[in-house]
Amino acid sequence: MGIVGAVMTPGAFLDRDGVINRALIRDGLPFPPRSIEELEILPGVADALRRLKDAGYRLVVVTNQPDVARGTVLRKTVDEINGALMARLPLDAIRTCFHDSEDRCDCRKPQPGLLVAAAKDFDIDLRSSWMVGDRWRDIAAGLAVGCRTIFIDCGYNEQQPPRADYRVKSLSEGVNIILQEST
């Protein structure tokens, strides 16, 4: 990956909905905001991301947005939400999979394609990186590439990850662990 002799940096791969911004809960399941008006950055996220950035981490959001493939949300809306997050937070990039499960792409988590591509583009060392997510798919994608993982347990009524390195209640709590582990 990257240029021979290039210094590899650690990365923090972050799911979007439920980690960076509030997920909308219906019947115990999380859903993304359907408009820019519904976008709400979670408390403590901006500060947590600044702390990671100051510690030398590349910050890449990796998000599944299958509602585009399903025709229930326009890609323009997802791009608008992502643009707002990029403008308000110290992120290096947001990588989005717009496919649904039936598309069998390599970018839809739990497949690790988004992480692999971002690692190549930003010279990220996957073994010294973290995947932070609120669903089993996020954790599986991180484990597939050798990242350490942090599961933010939001209490959703769905499958839980079979294993994660840490379980926390917020991104701020997860960032405290990452910074402790990197010293």
Taking a C-beta distance cutoff of 8 angstroms, is the pair 99, 108 a contact? Answer: yes
Q: Is residue 47 a part of any domain in this protein?
A: yes
Count CA atoms within 13 Å of residue 68 on its CB side.
Answer: 15
- Yes or no: say if 20 and 172 are a contact pair by the CB < 8 Å rule: no
Does residue 92 sit within a domain? Answer: yes
Kindly report, residue by residue over 27-48, the tens digit of the pLDDT.
999 999 999 999 999 999 999 9
Q: Is residue 2 part of a domain?
A: no
Whether 15 is a known active-site residue: answer yes
CA distance 165 to 125: 18
Residue-wise pLDDT tens digits, 111-152: 999 999 999 999 999 999 999 999 999 999 999 999 999 999
Q: 9 has which bridge partners?
A: 124
pLDDT band at residue 1 under the 50/70/90 scheme: very low
- For position 87, which CATH number holds? 3.40.50.1000
Note whether residue 145 is domain-resident.
Answer: yes
| Catalytic residue (choose from 15, 67, 92, 138) | 15
Q: Could you tell me if residue 55 is inside a domain?
A: yes
Q: Which of 17, 67, 134, 138 is catalytic?
A: 17
- Catalytic (active site) residue 79: no
Is 152 in a helix, a strand, or coil? strand
pTM of the predicted model, to two decimals? 0.94
In a domain, 22, yes or no: yes
Judge whether 5 lies within some domain.
no
Show the domain range for 103: 11-181
94 within some domain: yes
Query: Domains in the chain: how many in total?
Result: 1
